[in-house]
Structure 1
Amino acid sequence: MSSDVTDSPAGSATDDVTLADVLEVLGKVLGIEDRVLTFDAGTPLFGDVPELDSLAVLELVTALEDRFAITVEDDELAGGLLETAGSLHAFVSARAR
């Protein structure tokens, strides 16, 4: 992937991970860059965004891991991680500490 996917250095402070950063990755992975501009923290994701199927989840997780220098374990994909854009942002922010 090109270096423009990682704008901030690995290990950056949690405050540096914005919802917009997470949505940018989501938009690129799903090919919906125009639609994510309308997303906010309450926007439902898995089950509501048709492009976010099980294969796309794996691509998204890999892209988030690369962009924010985090690790996501398989068992963490269950629960509310992908419930809303806000829950995904909160997870990534907590991991990027």
Structure 2
Amino acid sequence: MDIKQSVLSILDEILSLKGRSAGFTLETPLLGAIPELDSMAVVALITTLEERFGFMVDDDEIDGAVFATVGTLVGFVEGKLAA
């Protein structure tokens, strides 16, 4: 499974980006750079990541750094899957 591609697909779906995520790289900024990524979208994104990848996220694991860039979000998912 390509985690980056899966995360991009989820971002596109949750944020209704209409395919814009296809051009995202690991360095693409998220929080503060994509207007669609508001607090409600973060909750939906976390819930969808949990469902798709089969892990649970504790409240204390989430901060702005996780959503800083595509790379930090992919790294977070990879870390959860490795745990």
The alignment's TM-score, normalised by the length of structure 1, stands at: 0.79
Contact 1:17 1:96 in 2 (8 A): no
1:21-40 equivalences in 2 (<5 Å): 21-40=6-25
Which has the larger share of helix?
Answer: 2
Larger Rg: 1 or 2? 1
Identity %: 40
Matched, 1:66 2:56: no
Q: State the distance in 1 between where 2:2 and 2:47 align.
A: 16
Alignment gaps of 5+ in structure 2: none
Task: Answer yes or no: is the 8 Å Cα contact 1:24–1:33 preserved in 2.
Answer: no
Is contact 2:31-2:64 (8 Å) kept?
A: no
Structure 1 portions without partners, runs of 5+: 1-15
Letter in 2 for 1:68: F
1:96 correspondence with 2:78: no
Deviates more, 1:67-76 or 1:51-60: 67-76
Could you tell me which of 32, 35, 58 is aligned with 1:47?
A: 32
CA distance in 2, matches of 1:59, 1:81: 15
- Aligned-residue RMSD, C-alpha: 1.1
Runs of 4+ with deviation above 6 angstroms: none
